Amino acid sequence: MAVYKNIEIFAESKSSWEDAVKQAVKEACKTVRHVTRVKVLSLTAEVENGEIVKYMARVKISFEVER
């Protein structure tokens, strides 16, 4: 029987929300093994002078626990 854990992380990108999510997964995989899925919890953006300058994603990363 597999056991899974979840962590919640935030990531940002100057180009898109999709890229922010990809950055979150990429960073999580640097220290966590067996990542199996990502769930986007929220997407936000920082606006300056009427333009989006930063895209931010809050995600839940699931991974299988080693035994």
SS (H, E, C) 5-56: EEEEEEEEECCCHHHHHHHHHHHHHHHCCCEEEEEEEEEEEEEECCEEEEEE
What residues form DSSP beta bridges with 58? 10, 42
Which pLDDT score is estimated for 66?
Answer: 87
Containing structural domain, residue 12 = 4-64
pTM of the model: 0.89
Whichever domain contains 53, its CATH number is: 3.30.1660.10
How many structural domains does the chain have?
1
- pLDDT tens digits, residue range 4-20? 999 999 999 999 999 99
**Rounded-to-integer distance, Cα 42 and Cα 7, Å:** 14
Q: What is the pLDDT of residues 33-52, one digit of tens each?
A: 999 999 999 999 999 999 99
Distance CA(28)–CA(24), nearest Å, equals 6
Answer whether residue 55 shows pLDDT above 90: yes
